[in-house]
């Protein structure tokens, strides 16, 4: 049987799985809860909460009878928000430990909504087709080309909109990214890859079935991320 050489996405996915199921698991559980954290982590928590609210604002208020893929669901806050609007959510993450926490935190009653918690790859075609796809901070560790390849793949199975985030290039983030590479990999998380918005838009232009709609940048202390919405052309 022929085998394919690992792509940049494949290699980074495996690094992320090892990281979030290993040294980062406890820190991530704390960051996404209401326990007291350091001042730096508090700014990251506030930024992530603001970003989640922004992405949810771009989704319909009524998601009943809609299927939504939460691609990189982490500990599940966005999945729960979407299910409370009535969505049937497929919440998938490569980190089994985080998905276990998400299951534990999920309310027993979600009204009209439903969540299927899964450990796996967001690009698995067996997950099915969706009305909306959300990828919050799950693509920030990838190069621009890998981000667009990933969006193209999930876009084949999405009918309406894709909302995602990327790490926008700024001189500060670029400098931090460069300095981060000086440290041994075992002492730091997989690098966040700053991406130029202009370059990303040029790469996204090859997705003929999709157009960029809204975009919004959120900065909170050590958290900087940019949301972008793709809508299917009619």
- Coil, strand or helix at 206: coil
**What is d(CA 200, CA 198) in angstroms, rounded to the nearest whole number?**
5
pLDDT band at residue 171 under the 50/70/90 scheme: confident
pLDDT surpassing 90 at residue 25: no
Residue 33 lies in a domain: yes
Residue 207, pLDDT above cutoff 90:
yes
Determine the Cα–Cα distance for residues 139 and 225; give it in Å rounded to an integer: 11
Q: What is the CATH number of the domain that holds 168?
A: 3.40.50.150
Count of domains observed in the chain: 1
Domain membership flag for residue 113: yes
Residue 12 belongs to what domain range?
Answer: 8-232
Task: Let me know if residue 3 belongs to a domain.
Answer: no
- Tell me if 138 is assigned to some domain: yes
- Residue from 113, 226, 207, 229 nearest 153 by CA: 207
**Does residue 56 surpass a pLDDT of 90?**
yes
- 139, 167 Cβ separation under 8 angstroms: no
In-domain check, residue 149: yes
- Token pair of 6, please? 């690992």
Query: Per the domain annotation, does 67 fall within a domain?
Result: yes
Q: Let me know if residue 140 belongs to a domain.
A: yes
pLDDT digits over 218-231, tens only? Answer: 999 888 999 999 99
Please report the sign of the dihedral spanned by the C-alpha atoms of residue 27, residue 32, residue 33, residue 34.
positive
pLDDT top residue among 103 and 32:
103
First to last CA, the chain: 40
Query: How many angstroms from the chain centroid is the CA of residue 220?
Result: 18
SS3 177: helix
pLDDT of residue 4: 53
Q: Is residue 65 part of a domain?
A: yes
Asked if residues 13 and 138 have their Cβ atoms less than 8 Å apart, the reply is: no
């Amino acid at each position: 049987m022929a085998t394919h050489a690992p792509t940049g996405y494949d290699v980074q996915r495996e690094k992320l799985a090892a990281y979030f199921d290993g040294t980062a698991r406890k820190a991530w559980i704390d960051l996404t809860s209401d326990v007291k954290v350091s001042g730096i982590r508090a700014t990251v928590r506030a930024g992530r909460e603001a970003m989640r609210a922004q992405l949810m604002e771009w989704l319909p208020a009524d998601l009943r009878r809609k299927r939504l893929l939460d691609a990189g669901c982490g500990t599940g806050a966005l999945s729960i928000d979407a299910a409370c609007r009535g969505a049937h959510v497929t919440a998938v993450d490569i980190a089994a430990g985080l998905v276990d926490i998400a299951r534990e935190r999920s309310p027993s009653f979600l009204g009209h909504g439903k969540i299927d918690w899964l450990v796996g790859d967001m690009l698995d075609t067996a997950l099915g087709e969706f009305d909306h796809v959300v990828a919050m901070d799950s693509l920030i560790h990838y190069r621009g080309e890998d981000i667009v390849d990933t969006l193209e793949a999930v876009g084949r199975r999405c009918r309406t909109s894709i909302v995602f985030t990327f790490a926008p290039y700024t001189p500060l983030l670029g400098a931090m990214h460069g300095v981060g590479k000086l440290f041994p990999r075992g002492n730091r998380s997989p690098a966040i890859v700053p991406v130029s918005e202009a370059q990303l838009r040029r790469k996204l232009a090859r997705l003929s079935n999709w157009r960029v709609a809204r975009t919004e940048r959120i900065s909170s202390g050590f958290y900087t991320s940019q949301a972008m919405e793709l809508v299917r052309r009619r």
